[in-house]
Structure 1
Amino acid sequence: MASENQQEKPDLAKGIASADLTEGQMLVGTLDGEDVLVARSGGKLFALGAKCTHLGAPLAKGIMVHGELRCPWHHARFSLETGEAVSAPALDPVGCFRAEESDGRIVVGKGRETISRPAPEKTLARRVVIVGGGAAGHACAEMLARSAFPGSVTMISNDSDAPYDRTFCSKQYLAGKVSRENAALADKPLYAAGEGEGKGEGGIALRLKTNVEAIDPAAKEITLSGGERIGYDALVLATGAEPQRPDIPGFERPNVYVLRTLADADALIEAAEKASRVAVIGASYIGLEVAASMIGRKLQVDVISPDEVPVGKTLGIEGGKFVQGLHEKKGVTFHLGRKVKGFDGRTLTLDDGSKLEADFVVAGTGVAPRAELAEAAGLKVASKEKGGGVVVNGRLETSAEGIYAAGDIARYPDPHGGGHIRVEHWVHAERQGQHVARLLMGATGDFRLPPFFWSAHYGTSLRYVGHAGKQAEPRLEGSVEDGEFAIRFFDEGKESALATCKKDKLALEVEAEWEQV
């Protein structure tokens, strides 16, 4: 397969030899100075934009499967036929070009006719209300809008900002690499311009800084904090999860922060501008991303965690030590196997009596599903001991007719591992929101996509597919020391999850395989 990084890419307007593109291969060339990917799959030729519309990954380094082109970085999926972004995190399509083959040559040109999506002939609802403006809520609304959903869509969000990519809060935006505007998930026309109530060109009425106080499943109405009642045919609960503030003396102080929203990130950025040292409580992915962002802002960073290694629950001991080493090389100091006993506003006291100076503290100590609204309405909710969340079936339907739950709050049947699971991954939440949207437009079938997330640490990226139980056995393939490895996790002898570093195609191939189980 031709490499995208070759010095001289072929001019596709002049054409390439048919023999240079065999079945299952991809090749990147140029067309009027633009990179274009040419592929042969299923006996057909395709010519598409060469970069993922999510964050610009080179699609030629991905795979083609099930009629889709899949991104190597964040596993977005594009239809080979239409270029449509059929699965998050990409939402915008890639360009499509005309590819013709004759006399042993393939020539690409502009002007390919766009294959339009027909409006749904049958929908399950005319009035859709979405509670929550995060990953699942926005993905559901966006899918309805792009599919010309003929009914009304109303989104209720208690956030002060229109839907944005929350992963930027701990990564790009917090690190100062992108502006606040870059975090937006949609152009303003999709929603109403400005704040408050209104309807954008995408047909979505957006209500910001608004709380839903109650759900009446029998009347199919919700009640807002001001007393207004809104009827629905379908209600999508996508309220996400709430960061937990540890019950530690001194953690009620104003210089102790949690991170969920852009406003939280704004507060952290302001605090960092006046500080020289920060303490991060918890060695979770969010905690480590905050640590990396603060290192990028030239602060001294201490990470305190009771765990043996960072992120050991998902990477095992060897993988966790690898991640720890990446951070230590950048200057992060870890205090593992330790708990915080108190904070006086300037000094943290640990359980071994040692003390750490900190201008401010960030608590990355886990989240809890925001399921109180559902529970108050009588919907089936899992106990805290079982991980919490709103219990749904394979179609993401709750115990009340016409009400769905998607994202961090949904406890759903795991088609690969069995049992019910609740997953707190951004991409997974988006894909569940998209699944609900398709159901509302008449699609059938259960949600079967395996969980997936990525995590970047100073230029080193990890991919994680599947869901491993607490007692899963990790098995390492490759070299952690060289930074190129795969860790397979087994629950009772069955492979349940895969973590990879510099093995992007393997992660894509395993994900595609597990979708068919």
Structure 2
Amino acid sequence: MATSNALVIAGAGLAGAKAAETLRAEGFDGPLVLLGDESERPYERPPLSKGYLMGTSERESVYVHPARWYEDHDVDLRLGTAVTAVDAAAHELTLADGSRQGYAKLLLATGATPRPLAVPGAELDGVLLLRQLADSDRIKEALPAAQQIVVVGGGWIGLETAAAARAAGVAVTVVETAELPLLGVLGREVAQIFADLHTDHDVTFRYGAQVAEITGTLGHADGVRLADGTQIPADAVIVGIGITPNSQLAEDAGLEVDNGVVVDAQLRSSHPDIHAAGDVANAFHPLLGRHLRVEHWANALHQPQAAAKAMLGQDVAYDRLPYFFTDQYDLGMEYTGYVEPGGYDRVVFRGDTARREFLAFWLSGGRVLAGMNVNIWDVVEPIRALVTSGATVDAERLADPGVPLTELV
């Protein structure tokens, strides 16, 4: 068993890799172990449904660090090594091969797992999820041979894969339980814009629809049957209905778990020597005054940097606003802030929504909760300042492109 003064990171995705990078950058020169259950070294996930999936970026571009980085920085990267148990009292991990690894401090960066579609036929070949690099490879292989696919779920992953399929010339039907895609995330006003974007690119939507069965021939999916009896033919079915945080290790170890590992603003769990970051962490956000589990790239990029510093005893708190982005067809978008479903009372637009060159702001009581820039760039910082200020804004001036955003704070 390794020495107990080791800092150990369970989970070798973007969050784990950035934590290791920060620990070394901040001067920690002791044993540093990075454990990952995949065979790939740490990589970023956004390209899996964007550039890499569409073939516009190379495979090497998805990795967080060059292959030699871990050796060069004396990081003990162990791939294909799953953690099966955490003994918080003994400061010890059990690994899948039965060996044990001691730690002084532990970071849980175990990420999340796609929710499977619990219907008959979900196990057929051609039913594809998207979370790992290998999943993106399978979808890349399926698209050139497909004439038509069904995407189950109208969230970010579903819409991005739909856009990639349309770029490949494949007919797409999106099956969504709600009235619009992204309805819970963006609200009706902006969700309609994304629905129209995909409709303009000949994507067919089936709203208010439930999948009853995935049909197949000779073990391969050939269509989707909806609850109303409608049959939709498909050469492949891509399922994007959300993810579940991988918090079982923490729960079994007796840590507080509620929609992920519950941590404070320093990313510290209910055990002082165990931190959590990334998709698995339900972290207290000091600016928003609530716990929040954020499933986006920027969170996995920045949050572990704060966690690593806290593991070293530094006085830090993670207070960056949630941020995410998407690229679909000719639309590029960035979103900054946080709005609970239905937690706003109006949306203010600035710019031309018909041309899809605009800003959108979600307000409650005159305060800007979040802002989105669509095909307009270099405005994230003033949007962030507007949200964090908590200032009450004049909606007419907010909508006026002639008024600089910096004058509204």
Q: One fold, TM greater than 0.5?
A: yes
RMSD, aligned α-carbons:
1.8
Q: Write 1 or 2 for the structure with the bigger share of helix.
A: 2
Of structures 1 and 2, the one scoring higher in RCO (CA 8 A, sep 6+) is 2
**2:396 aligned partner:** none
Q: Could you tell me whether the CA contact under 8 Å between 1:282 and 1:305 is conserved in 2?
A: yes
2:16 is equivalent to residue 144 of structure 1? no
2:151 is equivalent to residue 272 of structure 1? no
**1:477 aligned partner:** 349
2:50 is equivalent to residue 171 of structure 1? yes
Q: Deviations over 1:72-121 (max 9, x none)?
A: xxxxxxxxxxxxxxxxxxxxxxxxxxxxxxxxxxxxxxxxxxxxxxxxxx
**2:158 aligned partner:** 287
From 59, 76, 88, the counterpart of 1:180 = 59
**2:245 aligned partner:** 369
From 183, 203, 208, the counterpart of 2:79 = 208
Q: Could you tell me whether the CA contact under 8 Å between 1:318 and 1:480 is conserved in 2?
A: no
- Structure 2 distance, partners of 1:264, 1:459, is 25
- Structure 1 distance, partners of 2:229, 2:190, is 30
Equivalent residue letter for 2:118: D
Which SS does the other structure have where 1:173 is aligned? helix
2:379 is equivalent to residue 500 of structure 1? no
From 315, 318, 327, the counterpart of 1:456 = 327
**1:128 aligned partner:** 7
- Structure 2 distance, partners of 1:274, 1:513, is 47
2:379 is equivalent to residue 487 of structure 1? no
* Higher alpha-carbon deviation: 227-236 or 312-321: 312-321
Q: TM-score, normalised by structure 2?
A: 0.88
Which SS does the other structure have where 2:348 is aligned? strand
Which SS does the other structure have where 1:504 is aligned? coil
* Higher alpha-carbon deviation: 317-326 or 287-296: 317-326
Q: Following superposition of structure 1 onto structure 2, how do residues 294-305 of structure 1 map, counting pairs within 5 Å?
A: 294-305=165-176
Q: Could you tell me whether the CA contact under 8 Å between 1:417 and 1:496 is conserved in 2?
A: no
- Structure 1 distance, partners of 2:389, 2:305, is 19
**1:316 aligned partner:** 187
Quick one: percent identity of the two aligned structures? Answer: 35
**2:382 aligned partner:** 509
Shift of 1:186: 0.6
* Runs of at least 5 residues in structure 2 that lack an aligned partner in the other structure: 217-221, 391-409
* Higher alpha-carbon deviation: 264-273 or 230-239: 264-273
Equivalent residue letter for 1:379: L
Equivalent residue letter for 1:475: V
**1:328 aligned partner:** 199
Which SS does the other structure have where 2:54 is aligned? coil
Which SS does the other structure have where 2:244 is aligned? strand
- Structure 1 distance, partners of 2:388, 2:10, is 28
Q: Could you tell me whether the CA contact under 8 Å between 1:395 and 1:445 is conserved in 2?
A: yes
2:311 is equivalent to residue 435 of structure 1? no
Q: TM-score, normalised by structure 1?
A: 0.70
- Structure 2 distance, partners of 1:503, 1:397, is 37
Which SS does the other structure have where 1:188 is aligned? coil
**1:444 aligned partner:** 315
Shift of 1:495: 3.2
Runs of 4+ in 1 over 6 A off after TM superposition: none
* Runs of at least 5 residues in structure 1 that lack an aligned partner in the other structure: 1-124, 192-199, 383-387
Which SS does the other structure have where 2:196 is aligned? helix
- Structure 1 distance, partners of 2:6, 2:337, is 34
Shift of 1:155: 0.6
- Structure 2 distance, partners of 1:302, 1:283, is 10
Equivalent residue letter for 1:139: K
- Structure 2 distance, partners of 1:328, 1:482, is 15
Shift of 1:515: 5.4
Which of 1 and 2 has greater Rg? 1
Equivalent residue letter for 2:7: V
**2:233 aligned partner:** 357
- Structure 1 distance, partners of 2:384, 2:336, is 6
Which SS does the other structure have where 1:308 is aligned? coil
- Are residues 270 and 505 of structure 1, via their aligned partners in 2, closer, same or farther at CA, if it must alter by over 3 Å? closer
Q: Following superposition of structure 1 onto structure 2, how do residues 14-53 of structure 1 map, counting pairs within 5 Å?
A: none
